[in-house]
Amino acid sequence: MLVLVAPGQGSQTPGFLTEWLELPGAADRVAAWSDALGLDLAHYGTKADADAIRDTAVAQPLLVAAGLLSATALGVDPSAADAAGRPGAVAGHSVGEITAAAIAGVLDDTAALSLVRKRGLAMADAAAVTETGMAALLGGDPDTTVAHLERLGLTPANINGAGQIVAAGTAEQLAALEADKPEGVRRVVALKVAGAFHTHHMGPAVDALARAAEALTPGDPRFTYVSNRDGATVASGTEVLKRLVGQVANPVRWDLCMETFKELGVTALLEVCPGGTLTGLAKRALPGVRTLALKTPADLDAARELVAEHTA
Report, as residue numbers or ranges, the catalytic residues. 94, 198
How many Å apart are CA 140 and CA 145, to the nearest integer? 7
The maximal CA–CA distance of the chain, rounded, in angstroms, is 55
- Of the candidates 59, 58, 60, 65, the one whose C-alpha atom is nearest the C-alpha of residue 102 is 65
Contact at 8 Å (CB) between 250 and 206? no
How do 185-190 and 290-293 pair as beta strands?
Answer: unpaired
**d(Cα 40, Cα 54) in Å, to the nearest integer?**
15
Strands in 72-130 per DSSP E: 89-92
Buried b (16+ CB within 10 A) or exposed e, 202-233: bebbbebbeebbeebebbebbbbbbbbbebbe
Write b or e for each residue in 147-174: b if 16 or more Cβ atoms lie within 10 A of its Cβ, otherwise e.
Answer: ebbeebebbbbbbbbebbbbbbbbeebb
Q: Which of 125, 112, 122, 124 is nearest to 66 (CA)?
A: 112
In the beta sheet, which residues pair with residue 226?
A: 91, 233
